[in-house]
Amino acid sequence: MSTVTSAIEHIGLTPLARKTGLYPSAVQKWRDQGYLPQTELAGLTHYARDIEALCEGKFTASQLLADTRKAWEKRLSRAI
C-alpha cells in the first residue's frame, strides 16, 4: 500500500475532499491509484500539504510527493 493510499485511508475521503475543495470521487481516484495528480509535482497544487495537516504529521508532504514522483516516473516509463 502506498503512502498516499495509507494517508487517505487514515483521513477519509470526505474530510480530505472538503479540505481540498474537490469531490470525494477525485480523492478516491488518488487513493485507488496510490499517487497524487501531476499538478502536485509541478507545484500547481498543494494537496500533499493538506494531507499532512489533516494527518497531523503522521504522513509528511515530502513522503507523499516522493511516492507520487516514483509512481509517475514508473507510469511514464511504461508509456514510452
Sequence spans of domains, the chain: 3-79
First to last CA, the chain: 26
CATH number of 3-79: 1.10.260
The pLDDT value recorded for residue 15 is 97
- In this prediction, residue 57 carries a pLDDT of 86
HSE of 55, CA atoms in CB hemisphere, 13 A: 24
Interval 10-35: pLDDT, tens? 999 999 999 999 999 999 999 999 99
pLDDT of residue 76: 84
**For residue 58, what is the DSSP state?**
S
Cα separation, 50 vs 53, whole angstroms: 5
Burial class (CB in 10 A: 0-12, 13-18, 19+), 42: exposed
Q: Give pLDDT tens digits for 33-53.
A: 999 999 999 999 999 999 999
